[in-house]
Structure 1
Amino acid sequence: MFTIAWINLVRLFRDRTNIFFVIIFPIILIMVLGLSFGSGGWSPRIGVTGASGPQAAKLVAALERSADMQVVRLDDDAEARARVERGTLTAALIIPPGYDHALSSFIPIQLPYITRNEPSALQLGAAVRAVVSETTMPARAAAYVRNGSFGDLVAKAESVTVPGITIEVTTTGTAAIPGNVTGFDISATSQLLLFVFLTSLTGAATLIETRRLGLSRRMYASPVSSGSILLGEAAGRVAVALVQGLIIMLGSGLLFGVRWGDPLGAAALLLAFSLVGGGAAMLLGAVLRTEQQATSLGLLLGLGLAAIGGAMLPLDLFSGTMRQIAHFTPHAWALDGFAELLRRNGTIADILPQLGVLAGVAAALLALGSWRLRAALTR
């Protein structure tokens, strides 16, 4: 049984294209989605040019104190544009050479903001405008008065205190997504389930290849029981899903700081979902006759069930009816389990309902797949 399972792993990773789609591609998608939808502790990088005068230096210092961004000082505008175009910077703020002179002469001046049209850059733009507005407020007050030297007016404006407005923020109920949950955490969970199930289904082609090449007949001719052969094939399918899931979990955790909640609960969810994927792959490999059929139907079912189950669009955005439909897929139950671990600091005891459903689905698929595979191998 262990030999058959090991051979299935070797056959998977012997093909170098599988290494890309099984390991590298999921990590790339986690990075792209995590950066696109909010990176939590990862502050966007903004380039700043032209901080030559006192007022310009004050503005740059205020930007550097902001927790919403990382400031990178640049030499000229051309470098700023090039680095934004290449994507090494989220945006760039150009401080013109006459910035200090314009403020002291009460002349309006614009600060060019360079960025690509993407969500993180638009959010950063709001933060930059807030810092610029706060920093230049004394200068704008001096421009409004214009009765004295610029330095004296700015000093008076900075020393004036007025009764402030206190804003109190309260939250009713429990937030759907806590503030400590990053875009990487959310994208990693969905991509884990998407690719583990997708790889399992498309991997059914290997099982069909085993039958087509006569390997299954030779195994039956050896002094090995049919039960051991079926267990070996099932273990091979589950092992592929487990190895891929562990690589995604560890890789995303090390590269992007993704948290998976309670380790025991996360491991149990991964094992249960891998059993579901292994059972589905066995059933698909036993029913279909050609590798092309397995690959095509595997892609269709893998992507379709992932979309319905919330692995492509968060379940929080689904309507009530669609959320009920989503729970006809194993993906939705697994996502509920990971949400309990990550968002509400749950333990393995809190996800027993989700584990129970996944275990039931896995048992049904493995039993049906074993029955059909036995008939296909001995046909």
Structure 2
Amino acid sequence: MQTRLNILAAASAANGASTGRDQRRIGALFLVPVAIMAIIGIAMGGYSEPSLVVGVLDRAGTGASHELISAIAANQHMRVHSYTDQEKMRIAVFRGRLNAGVIVPSGWRGVGDLDVYLSQASAGSPIIRAAIDADLSRLANRTKPLAIAVHYPGGGSEGALPLGFQYTAPANLVLFVMINGLVSSAAILRLRSSGLSRRLLATPARTWELFAMLTVGPFQQMLAQSLFLIFTARWFFGVHWGDSIGVFLLTTALICFGVSLVFLMGTIFRTPEQPGSLGPWIGVFLGMLGGCMWPLDVVPPFMKSLAYLSPAAWAMHGYLALISSHASAVAILPDVAAMLLFAIACSAVGIVRLRPQFSR
């Protein structure tokens, strides 16, 4: 047993040394995901919270104005930011820092006009307009808030969409772990093409030991990559990943799936060059289908159903539940189980196909 552990340790050390010498691979594993996370995250709102921000300038200071502001703040999709300068608030709306700005005139007691700034470029403008109209109607009639029916023909939901780094951090983690698994299958192809696999099978070592040696390298790469991206997103981009146990379970399942891709694709690709040329494109396709490029809430219902054929969709669903909805580890267990089932299926097919190919 000690000899076998030494063999695995030697394989791990050899893989670490090989990866350390390959600067392009280090860049692809660690730096490229962070760059994409930063660029796309800023474009999607950066550090924005998943809510609509409404600026309020209250010049009335009456009970009715306070009630209106409280009603706006009570909306789960909105955050209120108080202003004392009308011009600053107007500029904030048209520069995109606010989704809307409301001016309550002096002496306003629930009757009379309000000045509201709305940016036509904001997708939340119709929702804000409907919410303010509902609150005003309730104040005028002293009745319960109006029920505003909002339809999502694109197949979305009423929950706020994840924005900025809260979305791009898990998306790039899932995407690049899958790409890593696809590209790492080149090691198996090099063993086959060099004939070394046949010599390894002829040694006294058991078959499972050979597969364990092939697992060590990709596993430690994906583990280091995942930890690097998780902590980078936390320290530099302010992403709160949520329940630590949930993050651990989901990331472990993701890494297991990434390793399973090594065995599966090692039997599908034919030349050592194919993983590097085709692997990233296959990873991007799985990522696009599974919601790594855009939220699944904005796609049509049939596409949302189809997305769950990709393991990326289960991983994204779990991470977004942890980050945006503050879900517990128990709540994401179905996502973890689905990822592990994908990993078991891919590994089983790959291992069954791999041994006869090694013998050739």
Please say whether Structure 1 and Structure 2 have the same fold, judged by a TM-score greater than 0.5: yes
Match of 2:159 in 1: 176
Note the C-alpha offset of 1:256. Answer: 0.9
Cα distance in 1 for partners of 2:235, 2:266 equals: 35
Unmatched runs of 5 consecutive residues or more in structure 1: 43-65, 70-92, 94-112, 114-119, 135-159
Match of 2:213 in 1: 232
Structure 1 stretch displaced more, 1-10 or 192-201: 1-10
Quick one: structure 1 residues 254 and 121, their matched pair in 2 at CA, closer, same or farther if it must change by over 3 Å? farther
RMSD after superposition: 3.4
Choose from 16, 33, 48 the match for 2:23: 16
SS in 2 for 1:306: helix
Cα distance in 2 for partners of 1:68, 1:304 equals: 44
Amino acid at match of 1:296: S
**For residues 315-364 of structure 1, what are the alpha-carbon distances to aligned partners after superposition, in whole Å with 9 as ceiling and x for unaligned?**
11111100010000000011111122122211221111111111111111
1:1-379 superposed matches below 5 A: 1-40=8-47, 122-124=95-97, 161-163=106-108, 165=110, 168=135, 176-177=159-160, 182-379=163-360
SS in 2 for 1:345: coil
Cα distance in 2 for partners of 1:316, 1:126 equals: 20
Unmatched runs of 5 consecutive residues or more in structure 2: 1-7, 50-79, 112-131, 137-144, 150-156
**For residues 204-245 of structure 1, what are the alpha-carbon distances to aligned partners after superposition, in whole Å with 9 as ceiling and x for unaligned?**
112212332344344335442221011221233233222211
SS in 2 for 1:298: helix
SS in 1 for 2:96: helix
In the alignment, is the contact (CA less than 8 A) between 1:205 and 1:291 conserved in 2?
A: yes
Question: How much identity, in percent, do the aligned residues show?
Answer: 27
Quick one: structure 1 residues 203 and 164, their matched pair in 2 at CA, closer, same or farther if it must change by over 3 Å? farther
In the alignment, is the contact (CA less than 8 A) between 2:184 and 2:262 conserved in 1?
A: yes
Structure 1 stretch displaced more, 365-374 or 289-298: 289-298
Cα distance in 2 for partners of 1:33, 1:14 equals: 29
**For residues 241-284 of structure 1, what are the alpha-carbon distances to aligned partners after superposition, in whole Å with 9 as ceiling and x for unaligned?**
22211111111111111111111111111111111111112111
TM-score under structure 2 length normalisation: 0.68
Select the structure of larger CA radius of gyration.
Answer: 1
Cα distance in 2 for partners of 1:9, 1:282 equals: 19
SS in 2 for 1:348: coil
TM-score under structure 1 length normalisation: 0.65
Quick one: structure 1 residues 238 and 165, their matched pair in 2 at CA, closer, same or farther if it must change by over 3 Å? farther
The count of aligned residue pairs is 280
Quick one: structure 1 residues 325 and 224, their matched pair in 2 at CA, closer, same or farther if it must change by over 3 Å? same
Cα distance in 2 for partners of 1:10, 1:68 equals: 56
